[in-house]
Amino acid sequence: MPRSRWLRSVGAFLLPAPCWAPQVRWLGLLRQPSLVHGCPVLGAWHSARRWCQAWTEEPRALCSSLRMNGDQKSACAQEKQDFIQHFSQILKVLTEDDEGHPEIGDAIVRLRKVLEYNAIGGKYNRGLTVLAVFQELVEPRKQDAESLQRALTVGWCVELLQAFFLVLDDIMDSSLTRRGQPCWYQKPGIGLDAINDAMLLDSCIYRLLKFYCREQPYYLNLLELFLQSSYQTEIGQTLDLLTAPQGDVDLGRFTEKRYKSIVKYKTAFYSFYLPVAAAMYMAGIDGKKEHANAKKILLEMGEFFQIQDDYLDLFGDPSVTGKIGTDIQDNKCSWLVIQCLQRASPEQRQILQDNYGQKDTEKVALVKALYEELELPAVFKQYEEDSFSHLMGLIEQYAAPLPPAIFLGLAHKIYKRKK
């Protein structure tokens, strides 16, 4: 029997924390009450088993990280496949009745194309998180076909919100590729019509919520959550645009404080808090304290995620990430330029001033060479370790009464990611 499986069979209490873990009082997590299926005792044991699995297996997707039994890899693959297959039902609800409509039929055909091109092909992490957290929090006997279908649909609503943002973001950034294919606006015959297509994607979210969740007690909470998440993300995008207008390079605008504000609003709320909070509302967890504590963990996780994104924009492999990074050309207030400014000599700062925010490939190469000269890849690696340890501490402190496994699954999913 493999050692990891044997350890899981006898329980987490025999297992020391790994060498890379922070010096946390990690068993303290097991002593805290946990709201798994409304049962503190079951919740504590469930969390213990999950900690053991987290320490004895390579990090997997969140859906498998929350599993107690069975082949986790195949379970994760099956859940992802179920999620993708549900998209056909999403398309049916959004388009089938009106495709033959004498007045709007051709517009609905266009909507179908927009959905098929922009909603499919990502990692689906945000949508799958809704499903996984819902299944973690709701009693198995209450997870009937209808409730699981609603969870799948809300997961797809998060994915549609992501698609809405990305279509517009690609236009604003003049991006070329997304998910390994041309950006939607770059497709022949699309161009700036993509702006209206993005608004269609956004409208679909609320049509789906009304169709599937209107009679549920959490319907209003979901509406407010999605509207607030959209607003927060749009405010974050506004901060980003104001801080780094194209053609107006002002390195003085690039401060760590402003960067953190951009990341918090543009990325963290909708990428991390939204999917977990949606599942919490669907599970009947609507207390301010529970949501505030979850937010403390998830916003920090969102910052960690965005800093990874900034690093991968320049140093990632486009064949893996699925996109060609343009942060330097776009004059972005990224983590890399912040770190460069904190370390640069006056001469190096001048190099940055002369070359940042310009489309010239030679100037982009000079900025990248400057980052490498300042050893920013090594700085990032150290940050990644330190930030992950900090996340473990936040999970220990704020996870209860929710199961720590919810947050551990997300953290392990993004730790050392390559795309």
Give residue 106's identity as a one-letter amino acid code.
D
The rounded distance, in Å, linking the Cα atoms of 115 and 87 is 10
Please report the sign of the dihedral spanned by the C-alpha atoms of residue 333, residue 335, residue 341, residue 347.
negative
Q: How many CB atoms lie within 10 A of CB 83?
A: 20
Can you read off the two tokens belonging to residue 293?
């504590």
- Distance, CA of 379 to chain centre: 23
Among candidate residues 53, 68, 73, the one with its CA nearest the CA of residue 5: 53
Distance CA 317, CA 110 (A): 33
What is the sign, positive or negative, of the torsion defined by CA atoms of 270, 271, 273, 277? positive
Backbone angles phi, psi at 177, to 5 degrees: -130, 155
Sign of CA dihedral 298, 301, 307, 309: negative
Burial bucket for residue 41 (CB in 10 Å: 0-12, 13-18, 19+): exposed
Q: Which residues are catalytic?
A: 123, 164, 169, 173, 178, 240, 266, 305, 309-310
The contacts found for 286-295 with CB under 8 angstroms, 24 or more apart, are 286/218, 286/221, 290/401, 290/402, 293/398, 293/399, 293/400, 293/402, 294/398, 294/402, 294/407
